[in-house]
Amino acid sequence: MRKISILLFSALLVFSCSSDDDNNNGDINNNTNAFVFNGTSYNVANVFLNDENTTDNNPSDIAIIMSNINLLADSQSNGVNYVYFDFQGVELETGTITNISDYTILENASFQNSEIDNGNTILDDTVSGFMATSTTVNINSLSSSQIDFDFSFTREDGEMINGNYSGNYTDISE
């Protein structure tokens, strides 16, 4: 009887353990439309693009805004994941952008009356200790309705924020 108990226990142990390959542990390669910070993945399934100058060929700020809610239709008192960064350009195109001086990443923020507020600051170009020492955005593909990009920011303390998005976007340019 003891041998059967040991065999049953061993079988139970073997079958109840799974491979670590199924556990993403915040690995951005296993998370689409998300950013990862400190081992935690944050959903950002909505992307908005804003080109501040669509009337001529003068460079202007081009912004990529990511959130887990539709910022054009929803309000939420907490739980909002928010990524914002912009850079100078004439138009958004595929390639690598490394000169990004305006950025904000928040988690558990609120979004009321078209304003993002509060939340936990992960990255902010105006807050000491939360500034980036390295910024990279790779626009891998772009069409009139879809975009595929990834990004990586390194904070002053060495912490990295990595993210990606592949899917439809909303153009909010005027």
Q: What is the pLDDT along the chain (174 residues), one digit of tens a residue?
A: 333 333 333 333 333 333 333 334 444 456 789 999 999 999 999 999 999 998 899 999 999 999 999 999 988 899 999 999 999 999 999 999 999 999 999 999 999 999 999 999 999 999 999 999 999 999 999 999 999 999 999 999 999 999 999 999 999 997
The pTM of this model reads: 0.82
The alpha helices in the chain, defined as continuous H runs, are: 2-16
Cα-based distances in Å from 130 to 133, 138, 159: 10, 22, 10
Can you tell me the distance from the alpha carbon of 149 to that of 15, in angstroms, rounded to the nearest whole number? 38
Can you tell me the distance from the alpha carbon of 40 to that of 26, in angstroms, rounded to the nearest whole number? 5
Other CB atoms within a 10 A radius of the CB of residue 83 amount to: 26
- Residue linked to tokens 């004439």: 90
